[in-house]
Chain A
């Protein structure tokens, strides 16, 4: 086998060696034209460049050029950022980015012109974080398009974007965006430092970076929000957060975050404050219910059935009378079934998935009850809690909630209600200790920062949003002058 002529560590020492080396790929082109009036040579990867641009903007200029220097040529080609270099690593890097190297004579220096071809899909509405109201503009895999979307939403001179390249093989571009003077310098320094310290070979998606940036990588709780919504990015940037965007990923990462922000749907800001607050509270109740409903069923039916009034107990007993299993087996069976449906639904092609998911759910559910494998009360509980777990606006949080249920069921089986309380304590301590880029995870609840409460459990009217949350520890806390918005229309009732 002679596929590899040299080991990866051996670097070519001259341009010619490099050309011979790269020629092993079929898409590499080194074209020499000696017949024309002006001899020249083009080196490029055919799969990376835009041939149209090459023919329209570059080749005619070379043909017309009667002078024999790269410097002159540089002035004539109507493309920006042209470099002349004789550094071999730089030339190779540029070639791999879609540049064409032009030489007028054999030698070491070359003219590098960027005619790279970028193919990406069109913008589309966010699919994971869908909302009925509000803008339907989602990020896509192309970094430049994403930056353009953000810059268009915040045409502010202090919106800074810092670039860093990560990944020894993928050479992925990562951009940290923040508003200078609003975001805390300490946070920016922390994230830049952590990004610089990253040493990894392939970065496929922003999720790679997200997991490596987290304060506590053992935690199941997300310490950054990944979002594809540009309005969410804008909102967080304005609060003083930073956003990490990755080439090739349609998700941006927001940090620092706190637990409360994971429960915020951006639609909350498009509804009236009272409605939004109501739905936010419903969401919190749903999440709590989703985690503890089935563990409570296990705890109460295994140990504390006398907790129920006799009428309710009679209903429960009659529905469970034919079931041969202990409550915990029954619950685990159904919970695993639901997770199975969810996993299968996520992997199946969308057209098959929908029908099969519904049919599977109904058929399995009804059949399980009819076959006396589960009680119908439990079926209601499990379906409700599965539904409730999807009310979380951040997808990663949904997974956390679904996961938390299982250890809780085990604890409920071992120690009943006390076990549930113990596991609750454990999660509470974990959340208390958790930080996101050094900011406490449970803020503004603990440490209590009453000033931040205008946008935590409830979303208060915009008049009260005149200060940025203290959570982000930025310098510029003031958002707007609240006096102007306070003017109230006078009616005869207010007269003195």
Chain B
């Protein structure tokens, strides 16, 4: 447990907003409306808002869990559950983060292959991305945060391109509001959780924040920003597509970009994908960074070398995934584990920590 990290290596509280937001937005936003629409139809945007609210609760829980001292979740697992169970939990967390990095990298490479370079071998972009990841991680957490910051700032203008499909949309598609059953909303929320995954990085980044208690508002703003973006994309998608069309479009956001017209650009989605390289990158960096932090603490391997092992694993898995079904399977797996992480593990350690603290106080 390193209590006194050098002050100059820590990040300002408000940067946690970019860390959380950039880790939540990933490749999912390019195609998520289809999955939600299958459950909640024209009320899908309400599902997005509900999930956003639920994640605000999760953030609140995380801050309660971390409220004492300057520990991350790895230390807390060891402290509360003992060395053996704690280590098993931590290893599971590490594998989950690694899976997250793999899923997002492979899915994005699939997007590149589907839209820009059908012939491109998977290993080339994977190798470049992972080498760049190593370069970032070698610069320390401040560099990782910097990438998160620019990963939000550089592509933020793409949000305005939603205006183009919005001009051609019929917003009456959204009516009537609230005509779905409670079960539809619940299954929609469950499905939507995959797109919101990523906030868990807070559990590991917490000790790197200067005055971590002041960062709470910024973490909430990060989730808030994610919710706004997803809601916007959802509303535009619902209004732009009819229900049947949407179900047939795997990458509905990319397809909607086709209608963007600039005087010297015809197929805007190329530019969108190019800028999406900047959105994807923080996800890979943060997930591998998180996994290497866990590995460093549990397995006592130097982060320097452990990152190399991790990127080799991610690289191997990436090139082994060759078709759409396998990638879909990985996505579903990550979504399921993420779901259990948020709806079972997190509330459980939340309750556990409250009880543990109360018991400790009494003694």
What is A's interface to B at a CB cutoff of 8 Å?
303-304, 306-310, 312, 415-418, 420-422, 424-426, 428-430, 432-433, 442, 446-448
Contact = CB atoms under 8 A, between A and B. Distances in A.
Contacts of A415: 117, 120, 124-125
Interface stretch (B54-62, B139-147, B176-184): B139-147
Contact of B274 (A417, A429, A432): A417
B157 interface: no
Contact of A418 (B11, B265, B274): B274
Interface in B142-173: 142-143, 146-147, 149-150
A128 to B, nearest CB: 32
Contact of B117 (A418, A424, A429, A430): A418
Contacts of B136: 429, 432
Interface string B258-291: 0000011111001101110110010000000000
Contact of A432 (B124, B139, B266, B267): B139
B112 A446 contact: no
A312 B263 CA distance: 9
A303 B116 contact: yes
A424 B138 CA distance: 18
Contact of A429 (B12, B135, B273): B135
A314 B15 CA distance: 47
A430 B135 CA distance: 8
A416 B117 contact: yes
A447 B15 contact: yes
Nearest to B263: A309
Interface in B330-358: none
B266 A307 contact: yes
A188 B72 CA distance: 37
B266 A309 contact: yes
Given A420-B274, A421-B277, 8 more contacts: A303-B116, A306-B267, A312-B264, A428-B150, A432-B139, A433-B143, A446-B149, A447-B146
Nearest to B149: A446
Closest 5 CB pairs of A and B: A421-B277, A432-B146, A433-B139, A417-B274, A309-B266
Interface string B115-132: 011001000110011001
Given A418-B112, A446-B149, A307 B265 contact: yes
Nearest to A313: B266
A362 to B, nearest CB: 28
B320 to A, nearest CB: 22
B128 A446 contact: no
Contacts of B147: 428-429, 432
B87 to A, nearest CB: 33
Nearest to B268: A307
B266 A425 contact: no
A15 B307 CA distance: 66
A309 B265 CA distance: 6
Contacts of A447: 11-12, 15, 142, 146
B120 to A, nearest CB: 8
Contacts of B142: 447
B132 A429 contact: yes
A433 to B, nearest CB: 4
B132 A426 contact: yes
Interface string B194-215: 0000000000000000000000
Contacts of A308: 264-266
A421 B275 contact: yes
A432 B266 CA distance: 34
6 contacts: A307-B266, A309-B264, A418-B116, A422-B128, A426-B135, A446-B150
Interface in B46-85: none
A304 B143 contact: no
Chain B CB within 10 A, most for which of A421, A425, A433, A447:
A425
A306 B143 CA distance: 36
Given A417-B274, A422-B132, A303 B117 contact: yes
A360 B72 CA distance: 65
B125 A418 contact: yes
Nearest to A434: B139
Given A416-B117, A429-B139, A304 B277 contact: no
A377 to B, nearest CB: 12
A70 to B, nearest CB: 57
Contacts of B125: 415, 418, 422
A448 B264 CA distance: 34
Given A422-B277, A446-B146, A307 B267 contact: yes
A417 B270 contact: yes
Given A308-B264, A432-B143, A418 B135 contact: no
Nearest to A309: B266
Contact of A448 (B129, B135, B149): B149
Nearest to B275: A421
A312 B12 CA distance: 47
A465 B136 CA distance: 35
A416 B116 contact: yes
A112 to B, nearest CB: 49
A485 B278 CA distance: 43
